[in-house]
Structures are given as structure tokens and as C-alpha cells.
Amino acid sequence: MTTIGTKTADGAAAPVYGETGVTVAAIVHACHERTIDEGLAGLALPGLDRARLEPLLTYCAELRCEAEAVTCPGCKRRTEAKGLHTLDDFIRAHAEVIVGDGAVRLVGQGQAVVTTPELAALEKTWSGENYWFWARRVLRKLRHGIRRAHIQGSAFSGTGETPSVILMEPQLADNIGMVARAMANFGLDELRLVAPRDGWPNEKARIAASGANYVIDDGRAYPSLSDATGDLNWVAATTARQRDLRKPVLTPLEAVAEMRSRIAKGERCGVLFGRERNGLETDELAGADALVMIPVNSRFASLNLAQSVLILGYEWMRTSGAATLGRVTTYETPQAPGLDLGDTRPATKAELEGFFEHLENELDQMGFFNPAHRRQAMVRNLRTMFTRMGATEQEVRTLRGIVVALAHGKGRGRKRP
């Protein structure tokens, strides 16, 4: 039987699992960060299995902690309960906030001491995590399994036939998954990660990939940029900021053209993408053969990782000759630009002429052409209008049926002589 106990942490009561002292948030985090079974195995809590996990997840997902006036450390609910609404409030509530190596210290009015690698990181994390939202996601996986987890797929091209996508120190597994999805959309197969923050492989990346599992499964992590690019002949690096480097600056289309030319000669190419937080350092760009800059709004030039990869991938696929408009399945054939006529065909001039005469005769009977001397101009306008629509033969038959129905009625509505 799952029980919820309480303990005191940072001066506040927290919901815990039984007598273990492990908070509900810690359990949610473990199962959200990895698969449910891996999370449970890592926690190794007595008696906690899938059956007993569900009530815990439900407790968190439904915010039952609010009624019991308990909150977990690191949860946004605790931050709100303490009345901390801004970063200034957070700093004020602590005795000291130590930044990096301690050269920068922010003094507050509380008692606890907090350390952070940099202020930018603290700005993103001070308010805590939405553990109840994570609990809902884990609960959905527990009840229904991981969506598309069974999908494997396969590489679009052979080894070295597409440029490698290289992510420099990616921070979020979700971003890696979304990059993999963009790669699969546009036929880029090889994913390389330089020192991913949360390690590799990562189940959260697989979930975010939404079926692009083969990109995730084949993705490789490297300890350094030089290791990740060591076997490549040519590397382009993406940036939104101008740098004082004497290197070719290419648009995505130009970069793709260059890579296609080099790959055709047997060279291996790659495109390097920067960190989510601050992109690539100048020293990292210096090692690239060219810079890629995407045409953007100059006042808002920052793109996230998946967007950047998607744009490069789109240009790659667009020039490959292997792209299709939309998906192709057992029941869906490749589409071509323009009007899809299906089983019909464009109407012939004779069919259009028959429709015009039919329409004009009925309009004559109804006295539409009045005054009579304007008839020729009105007929010309009608013919111009219907000719412009480029009707199919099926549409011409439908129009003639409409004329008959309006003039004589249809079925029970048929007009009596």
C-alpha cells in the first residue's frame, strides 16, 4: 500500500514515500528522466513497483499536496508557497548565492546558502520544476506506454552520403530528440553529440524524437569537438552573431551546395550547431571551414536547435531529388505541385460550350437578359467568368445539374408544367 508521509526540509513539510524519506518529486524525477523501469531500479525503494507507483504519480499530478499543505524541494509549488515571485525574491530569501568559483557572491537576508555555475543558469532554474506536469507525463506512459516506442525506421542514405549534424554540448534531452525528428524529416541520418550535459544514451531524447528512433539509436557522443570532427574533411558552423573571422559566410542553400559537391568527391562533411544558451564560442568557430548564417529578422535572430537543423535539413532534402510532398504510404502516392485532378480531367472546349448554351437558354427562358441589347455583353461576362475557373469535366456536369435543378426542380421539388 502506497503511503504519503511528511518530513521537514528547508523549513517546510514535504510529501515522502512511506518511511524511506524519499520525496514524491524525487521519484517523479527519476521515472521522468529515464524509463519507468530504469527509474524504479535506480531508486531501489522497498516495495515500490509499477502498481504502487501509480498512486504516487496521481497524488502529484492532481496536486493533492496543496490540500495537505506540503511541497517538495525544487518544486515550483514550494517557491510559490514561500511567496518568491522573482529572482530578486529568491536571492533575498537566502543568506548567500555563490556564483561559479565564488568570485561573485550575492548576499541576501535568509539562512541557506545556494551555489550556481552562473547567473544565467540560476535565472532559468530558481523558480523550480513543474513536477506535477512531469507526473502527468509519467502517468500517461505508465498507463499507455511510450508513444511510437516500437518505431525503428532506417537511415535514408548510406554512411557519409549526408552531412553529420553535430550538437555542441547540448543541455536538454528534449532538444536532442526534436533535432533527431527534424533530421528524420529531411533525410539527415548521422547525429553527433559533443559532451551532452545529461549523458548519452538518453530515454527522454528518444521520447521527444516522436518515432525518429533510428537517429537516436545511431547517435554517438564524443568527449570533445576535435573527437567529433576528427574523421570529417569539411565542417560548417552555424552562428547568428557576426565574428571577426576571415571565413566564407554561406546561406543554408550555399552550404548545402558546397557539401553536395564535396560529398560527391568522396569527402565527409558536417554542420556544427551551438549550445542552446549561447551558441558557439569564437574559438570553436575558428576551427570550421565556413560559417552558416540563416536569413532571419535582424531584431530577433536566435533560433532553437531543432529550428536551425530543420532549415538546413529542408535545403538538403529540397535539392536531393528524393523529396516527396507529404507522406507516401500503402494508400497514398507521391504528390506533385499543382492541381490534383484525381480520376477526372480538364473539361474540353466542347463540354464548356455545351454548358454555356444550356445556361444561356435557361436564363433566356427566365428573362435574365434584360434589357435585350445588353445580352451579348452579359453572355461574354458569364463565359469569361466560368472559363477562368478552369473547370474539370466532372465540375461541368455538376454545373449543368445545378442549372437543371434551378430551372425545373428535382425530385419532389420538380416544378409542374
Residues 208 and 110 both lie in one domain: no
Residues 51 and 191 both lie in one domain: no
Per DSSP, the three-state class of 15 is: strand
* CATH code of 278's domain: 3.40.1280.10
Quickly tell me which residue has 537517429 as its cell.
215
178: amino acid identity, one letter: M
Residues 312 and 220 both lie in one domain: yes
Among 266, 301, 318, where does a domain finish? 318
Over residues 381-400, the pLDDT tens digits come to 999 999 999 999 999 999 99
Residue 240 lies in a domain: yes
Instruction: Sort 327 into a burial class: Cβ within 10 Å, 0-12 / 13-18 / 19+.
Output: exposed
Among 126, 154, 179, where does a domain finish? 126
- Per the structure, how many domains does the chain have? 4
Over residues 12-29, the pLDDT tens digits come to 788 888 888 899 999 999
Residue 153 lies in a domain: no
Please list the residues that pair with 6 across neighbouring strands: 15
Residue 267 lies in a domain: yes
Give dist(CA 63, CA 50) in Å, integer: 20
Q: Greater confidence, 278 or 339?
A: 278
**Residues in the chain, total:** 417
Percent of the chain scoring above 70 in pLDDT: 91
Residues 101 and 17 both lie in one domain: no
Q: Does 180 score more than 80 pLDDT?
A: yes
Residues 121 and 136 both lie in one domain: no
Query: CB of 87 within 8 A of CB of 126?
Result: yes
The domain containing residue 300 runs over which residues?
A: 164-318
Residues 43 and 59 both lie in one domain: yes
Residue 3 lies in a domain: yes
* Terminal-residue alpha carbon distance, the chain: 84
Interhelix angle for 131-144 vs 24-33, to 10°? 60
Residues 35 and 59 both lie in one domain: yes
Give dist(CA 243, CA 102) in Å, integer: 31
Strands 104-107 and 96-99: antiparallel
Residues 48 and 16 both lie in one domain: yes
Query: CB of 179 within 8 A of CB of 167?
Result: yes
Give dist(CA 274, CA 166) in Å, integer: 9
| Cell reading at 259 | 557539401
Residues 50 and 71 both lie in one domain: yes
Q: Quickly state the pLDDT bin for 2 (edges 50, 70, 90).
A: very low
Per-residue CA distances from 283 to 235, 276, 279, 286, 398 (Å)? 14, 17, 12, 5, 68
Residue 344 lies in a domain: no
Give dist(CA 393, CA 6) in Å, integer: 76
Task: Quote the mean pLDDT of the chain.
Answer: 87
| Cell reading at 407 | 430551372
Closest CA to 288 of 301, 274, 277: 274
Residue 91 lies in a domain: yes
pTM, two decimal places? 0.57
Residues 9 and 112 both lie in one domain: no
Residues 222 and 102 both lie in one domain: no
CA angle, 210 then 213 then 217, to 5°: 145
Over residues 122-171, the pLDDT tens digits come to 887 888 888 988 899 888 888 866 554 555 566 677 778 899 999 999 99
Looking at residues 96-117, what average pLDDT do you find? Answer: 88
* CA 354 to chain centroid: 52
| Cell reading at 96 | 548567500
Give dist(CA 52, CA 222) in Å, integer: 39
329: amino acid identity, one letter: T
Percent of the chain scoring above 90 in pLDDT: 48
Q: Which of 32-36, 63-67, 169-173 has the lowest mean pLDDT?
A: 32-36
Residue 159 lies in a domain: no
Looking at residues 348-373, what average pLDDT do you find? Answer: 94
Per-residue CA distances from 311 to 78, 110, 188, 238, 321 (Å)? 40, 48, 12, 11, 17
Give dist(CA 332, CA 326) in Å, integer: 9
Q: How many CB atoms lie within 10 A of CB 397?
A: 15
Radius of gyration of the chain (CA): 32
Residues 5 and 139 both lie in one domain: yes
Q: What is the pLDDT of residue 398?
A: 94
Residue 391 lies in a domain: yes
- DSSP for 187-249, please give it: T---EEEES-TT-SS-HHHHHHTTT-HHHHHH-EEESSHHHHHTT-SEEEEE-SS--S----E
